[in-house]
Amino acid sequence: MEEDKNKGWLIFIGIGTAFFFLLFLFVISSAYAYFNSGASQKDIFLEAEKGISDHTPKFNWIDNGNEGRVMENYAKKRIMEDYSNAWYYQNIAHHEKWSENAAMFFTEEKIEYFNNIGKKKSNVRIERTDLEHNIDFHLYSLDGQIVSFTDSSVYIVEKIKEKNGKFEFVKKYKATYDVVMIYRDDNWKVRHMVPRGFQDVSEQALSLKPAKSNMPIHSVKGMNYYPQYSPWKMWAEFSADTIRKDFDIINSLGLNTVRIFIPFEIYGKGHVSQVHLDNLDTLINIARQNKLQVIPTLFDFVNNYHLSNWAASDRQLESIIEKIKHYPNILAWDIKNEPDLDFKNHGEKDVKHWLEFIIERTRMYDPERPVTIGWSSPEVAFNFQEELDFITFHFYRPAKELNYAIDLLRIKCPNKDFMLGEFGMSSYNSFWFPFGKTKKEQRKYYEDIFDVLQEQGGISYLAWTLYDFQDIPSKVVGILPWHKSPQKSYGVINQEGMEKPVAEIIGGNKFEKTRITLFDRILKPFNLFILSLFFICGIIFLWTRKKYSKKEEPIHNMTVKQQ
């Protein structure tokens, strides 16, 4: 009887264990499947469809008049939107498939034709986008139901990619189309679209003009700027008073330039926020009042270099440049902050194609101003040397490495002006942080950097940064405390608003060289902490040794006695 009872328990435990094992296996496999399966084709397509609002190509209207009804502004706007949407669906259909929603912007006859074409398979992927349209209306029917126009010099970029990455062919061309659209089911739909010619513009060289800034690049002494209490949130928490006060400080430090950052998404991508544009205008104006030149760094935190994002990038670029280019204190356009850091995640080719396009468009919108890119290191700064007016790179490594890095860069780019767009040293110190530097060491670092820049013929510089910050957003440096904490202390002015020793020399003023003594190197919280630990450990060691040696003494005496 007792044996039967035990058997029952054993069976119960066995089944229970098997059940838990299976449950565990199910959970693990589900989690594995979840993290390893990519988005389905449908998901990708739905995601692509969401991007329709970001597709904002440039529209120019050639106002030659048209036959029929006088074109109303609202109708023009509506035609533009629906025509742009039609292009968007046509573009994504190349690398995805035709959507049912495309029927909103094409008549049935066109959809049927496209569907037939879509069935042709190929191992080559084609991506395409349209960036600029020039519309000349010919006919707008009296009842406002039909419109015919020529869309000339449509700027199209096409990438032909072998699916295994064997090659990639990029073509930029301008095409002209005669188009008929019909207003049906509350939308303007493309009824006919006849290509009249294609002009390859891939090889058109960018027209480089000499920089026409009102200050020579080599005389720039400046600062990368964020306000103390809203770094990286400057536009969301914009305060003209704060900027006025800070620019006054920057001026009083003996600096003549500020580099600011314009975040792509916060500014509204292709639909640029008027509020932000007005704030930007205010900032440039305040800088002018403080006799400061400004280098706006465009496209901060861009996370999409795909062709589908080019039109939005172009719209933002145009909005910003057109808004502020009339200010004489715009020194240069910095296209992008450290784009080389995106090479790995976004693909070097895609990032470079995007940069090339933005350089080209920046020159188109403002042919007068110099253009540069803020590369993350001198080693990558040779990229686009022909297309850029001067070369900007960032440097946070030991000062002694700078000379060699610049020499190397000069070999690759012999005829270009250089700018040290970001450099600096954190004066962060803590008992748990072994690499902490003192404020004195920070000043010494600046002196050493300035010596190299002087030795290299007077390279201009922009320091990082004005203030020690209280908080750094995690999206900038991540959440790890040994990354985040030092980032807070790169400022020339500490969190309490007091100038650090480096403030004396940042404007290039000559002072007696700082000497870092052995004491300066040793007397740091981490070192003192380690020393204290050694000291305490030493005392403990000595104490225990003494204690044990006292206990052993009688045994020794006994041994002696036996002898």
Partner 1 sequence: MILKPDNLKIICKNEIQAGESLEIELSSNKIHEDLLIVYTQMSGSYVFPVESKKIITDTFLTRKSGKLNIRLLAGPHLLDTQEINILPNMGTGKIESYIGPKSILTTTNEPSMLVAIPADEFDNPVTEGTISDFSYIRPNYSKELHQIRMEKLTNHHTFFAQTKTGKTLAGVQCDNGFSDEKYVDEEAGWPLQISLETLPQDLQADGKHYVEIKTKKITDKLGNNVKDGTIVTFSISDKKQINQYSSVTINGVAKIDFKYPTVNKKYEVIAFCGNVKSNSMSLTFISEINDFDIKYDQVNMNLVIGPVTGTLNQFVPDGSEFKIGVSQASKKKIEITSPAQDGMIEVDLKELFLDKKPTIISVKYAGKTTLRQIFIK
Does 84 sit near partner 1 (CB under 8 A)?
A: no
Report how far apart the first and last C-alpha atoms of the chain are (Å, whole number).
73
- The residue within the footprint of partner 1, chosen from 71, 135, 179, 284 (CB under 8 A), is 179
- 202 conformational bin, left if phi > 0, alpha if psi -120 to 50, beta if neither: alpha
Among 10, 13, 142, 523, binds partner 1 (CB under 8 A): 142
CA–CA dist 293, 289 (Å, integer): 10
Looking at beta carbons only, is 182 or 405 nearer to partner 1? 182
Among 47, 72, 162, 348, which residue sits at the site for partner 1 (rule: CB under 8 A)? 162
Structure tokens at 264: 């792509």
Distance CA 157, CA 215 (A): 36
Nearer to partner 1, 128 or 524 (CB): 128
Q: Does 310 bind partner 1 (CB under 8 A)?
A: no
178 binds partner 1 (CB under 8 A): yes
Give the residue from 524, 527, 441, 434 showing the smallest Cα distance to 490.
441
Nearer to partner 1, 115 or 274 (CB): 115
Q: In whole angstroms, how close is the CB of 521 to partner 1 at the nearest point?
A: 52
Decide: is 65 part of the binding site for partner 1 (CB under 8 A): no
Q: Does 134 sit near partner 1 (CB under 8 A)? A: no
**Residue of the chain from 8, 16, 197, 478 that contacts partner 1 (CB under 8 A):** 197
What's the closest the beta carbon of residue 352 comes to partner 1, in angstroms? 14
Give burial (CB, 10 Å; 0-12/13-18/19+) of 248.
Answer: middle
Sign of the CA dihedral 406, 410, 415, 416? negative
What is d(CA 286, CA 289) in angstroms, rounded to the nearest whole number? 5
Token pair of 374, please?
A: 């803020």
Residues β-bridged to residue 156: 130, 173
- Which amino acid does the sequence have at 508? G
Of the listed pieces 148-156, 213-221, 225-233, 300-308, which binds partner 1 according to CB under 8 A?
148-156
Q: How many residues bind to partner 1 according to rule CB under 8 A? A: 51
Considering beta carbons, is residue 120 or 510 the nearer one to partner 1?
Answer: 120
Residue found by looking up tokens 């995690």 in the block: 474
- Tell me the residue ranges of DSSP E strands in 410-534: 417-423, 460-463
62 binds partner 1 (CB under 8 A): no
Per CB under 8 A, 180 contacts partner 1: yes
| Helix/strand number for the chain, H first, E second | 15, 14
Estimate the share of the chain in helix, then strand, then coil, as percent rounded to the nearest 5: 45, 20, 35
**Contact stretch for partner 1 (CB under 8 A) within 23-31, 154-162, 248-256, 459-467:** 154-162
With CB under 8 A as the contact rule, the residue among 195, 328, 497, 538 that binds partner 1 is 195
Q: Which residues bind partner 1 (CB under 8 A)?
A: 67-68, 90-91, 93-94, 109, 113-114, 116-117, 120, 122-124, 126, 128, 138-139, 141-146, 148-150, 158, 160, 162, 166-169, 171, 173, 177-180, 182, 191-198, 200
